[in-house]
Amino acid sequence: MGERLAARYLRRYGYKVLYRNFRAPEGGEVDVVCRDGEVLAFVEVKTRTGEGFGRPIDAVTAGKRLLIARGAMAWLRLLDRPPGSVNYRFDVVEVLLGDGEPPDFTVVKGAFETPEPLLYG
């Protein structure tokens, strides 16, 4: 549900959603692939009912960032464009769902960089 709400929110604020739940054949995943102007944004959505265990973005661990980046690199290969030829970034959308309250969204643009193993490995 959080991914659907986040995609709707991103559209409302000018992002063009290209794909949801992209899974790369060799491993890797991206919740939402979209355009924000001239930038290709690979978006991870984290949904919580509260912040009792920290902010949702705290759940985007190094291992999770690597999976997202692998998915992003696979998407770029599908475009037949090398990573350096496309402006891209990794965003995180935090969705907080409170009882009887409208969802609260926080978009963290450029939440992390491409992990080193993918840059040099």
- Is 120 inside any structural domain? no
- Per residue in 26-64, pLDDT (tens digit) is 889 999 999 999 999 999 999 998 777 788 999 999 999
- Count of domains for the chain: 1
Per the structure, the complete domain to which residue 97 belongs is given by 2-111
Domain membership flag for residue 116: no
Q: Count other C-beta atoms under 10 Å from residue 92's C-beta.
A: 25
User: Does a structural domain hold residue 118?
Assistant: no
Residue 89 structure tokens: 């970034």
pLDDT digits (tens, 9 = 90+) for 5-14: 999 999 999 9
CATH number at residue 91: 3.40.1350.10
Cβ–Cβ under 8 Å, residues 69 and 90:
yes
